[in-house]
Amino acid sequence: MKGLGTLFSLVVFVCQSNLSQAKRLHFGRCSLTANLPEIQRAFSDIRQGIQAEDIIDDVRILTKSTLHGIQAEESCCFLRHMLRFYVETVFKHHAPSSSLIERRTNILANSFLSIKRDLRQCHADMKCHCGENSRTKIQNIQNTFENLAVRAAAVKAIGEINILIEWMEQSHQN
């Protein structure tokens, strides 16, 4: 019985630690909580391996300049579509080269799904404005992805997740 109490205490501690690391983010009129440190750790664990697999040097799918051009009122819509792109296209077509990369990309995908769920609610509440600027940028990102071999494009897109994470952290915290 004592072991069960210790286990319960450990689970509560881990959950509280994860909640304390979560950050409140604002995308236009949409506000949500995301555990960016967990996302960053998962990406950091695979960054070197993924980027070593990236054989395409002359094309970028996601750039800092693309993200910095997103207006605050369109950021919710843009992020919602970016996460959909990653979950439904990138992760779906990625063939992990190791069990570590598979586990960490699963963490990333699950984190993105969680954020996407909150963004979907914002969209339903009419807090997520989609303008021409965000639609054009998303379409350009998808076109660039589709113009590459699908597996190589998936590796490249995963290798560029840090750009999305930095944009979320720097531009949308309190």
CB 71, CB 136: distance < 8 Å: no
Q: Where are the domains of the chain?
A: 33-172
pLDDT of res. 96: 93
In the chain, which residues have pLDDT < 50?
1-19
CA distance 60 to 145: 9
| Cβ-contact 36, 169 below 8 angstroms | yes
Q: What is the CATH number of domain 33-172?
A: 1.20.1250.10
State how far the Cα of 30 lies from the Cα of 41, in Å rounded to an integer.
Answer: 25
Residue with tokens 């054989």: 55
pLDDT at 9: 37
Which helix (H) or strand (E) is 23 found in, with range? strand 23-27
Structure confidence by residue, pLDDT tens digits, 14-65 = 444 444 578 899 998 999 999 999 999 999 999 999 999 999 999 999 999 9
pLDDT at 23: 84
CA-CA distance, 41 to 32, in Å (whole number)?
20
Provide the pLDDT for residue 10.
36
Distance CA 37, CA 18 (A): 9
pLDDT score of 20: 56
